Amino acid sequence: METRAHHILIGLFAILMLAGALLFGWWLSEGGLHQKQAEYRIIFNEAVSGLTVGSNVKYNGITVGQVTELELDPRDPRRVLSRIAVDPSTPVKQNTHAQIQPTGLLSGTAHIRLSGGTPNSLALVSEPGTTPEIPARPSPFSQLREQSGDILANINQLVQRMESLLSRRNLENIDQTLDGMAELTRNLNNQQERISRTLETWNRTGQQAQTTLSEARGLITDTRAILEKDAPQALADTAEAARATRRAVTEVEALVNGNREALEKAMQGSASLGPTLEEMRRTLGALRDLSQRLESDAAGTLFNRDKLEEYQP
């Protein structure tokens, strides 16, 4: 009897444990977690590839909930309506936003990433009877996935251009160009000695030109010094000589004019004396003109600044 009573007690204990486990499981699934979870709605205007019911919801990398519903918007099939349940202690703010993120590069799954939310922002709440909505932002990975077709087309076009660039004909042209460059290099190497001699000759010529220029500069300096030192005295002497010549010419003209009557009578007696007197008169005129020029501008007259009219007897 005692053994049978022990078996009955063990059976009852097992039944009670099983019932308790079932009740606890029901409480967790229905009466516990769901009552404590905070629900939010998210509307995506893009494809939600990799996102399913039960996918994780992460806030700055920390799992805070799961996706509970996913469906197309009956009024606009381009939009996806989703509902999430997160821990009520999650600080969802009015400036918090949602975004789809891939879980792995090769897994093909995705999760919802919550981010944003500043300390000064108010908590996201809604009117009674409605579910608060978290605004969604476009996912860069979704955009990349949508644009992958264009990217692949561009890559294919680039490959075709590379194949065209590396065609047999272009490769032959490149080989010819390289051969020409090699030949040019060999010619330059062969002409290196001649080029060196030419450059050396140019260097010597430049040095000689520099020396000649220095000598010419010194000659000009010496000439300027001589002119500045001796030219004023020479010009003064020339002007004095011009004044003396002018006085002599004036005296001769006065002598001739004073004896004009006697000379005219003499000219009547000798026909050859007339041309001689005329030549003397022209000579005196030329001397007078020269003396006037020397007296007024001795430097210009001596250095041919004004070309003098030569006397032709």
- Give the chain's residues under pLDDT 50: 33-34, 269-273, 305-313
The arrangement of strands across the sheet holding 62-73 comes to: 96-102, 110-116, 56-59, 62-73, 76-86, 38-44, 133-134
Domain ranges (residues) in the chain: 1-35, 37-138, 145-174, 223-302
- Say how far apart CA 113 and CA 219 lie, in whole Å: 92
Can you read off the two tokens belonging to residue 116? 């944003």
Q: What is the pLDDT, as a whole number, of residue 188?
A: 73
Q: And the tokens for 133? A: 């909505």
11 vs 84: CA distance, rounded Å? 43
Long-range contacts from 223-231, C-beta under 8 angstroms, 24+ separation: 231/299
| pLDDT score recorded for residue 307 | 47
**Three-class SS string for the chain?**
CHHHHHHHHHHHHHHHHHHHHHHHHHHHHHHHHHHHCEEEEEEECCCCCCCCCCCEEEECCEEEEEEEEEEEECCEEEEEEEEEEECCCCCCECCEEEEEEECCCCCCCEEEEEEECCCCCCECCCCCCCCCEECECCCHHHHHHHHHHHHHHHHHHHHHHHHHHCCHHHHHHHHHHHHHHHHHHHHHHHCHHHHHHHHHHHHHHHHHHHHHHHHHHHHHHHHHHHHHHHHHHHHHHHHHHHHHHHHHHHHHHHHHHHCHHHHHHHHHHCCCHHHHHHHHHHHHHHHHHHHHHHHHCHHHHHCCCCCCCCCCC
Question: Which tens digits make up the pLDDT trace of 56-112?
Answer: 999 988 999 999 999 999 999 999 999 999 999 999 999 999 999 988 767 778 999
pLDDT for 65: 94
The pLDDT value recorded for residue 308 is: 43
- What is the pLDDT, as a whole number, of residue 155? 82
DSSP-H helix ranges across 27-125: 33-36
- Residue 86 has a CB neighbour count (10 Å cut-off) of 21
The separation between CA 284 and the C-alpha centre of its own chain, rounded to angstroms, equals 82
Q: At what angle do helices 192-258 and 273-296 cross, to 10 degrees?
A: 120
Whether 136 and 43 have beta carbons less than 8 Å apart is answered as: yes
Q: Alpha carbon 36 to chain centroid distance?
A: 62
Strands (E), 74-212: 76-86, 96-102, 110-116, 133-134
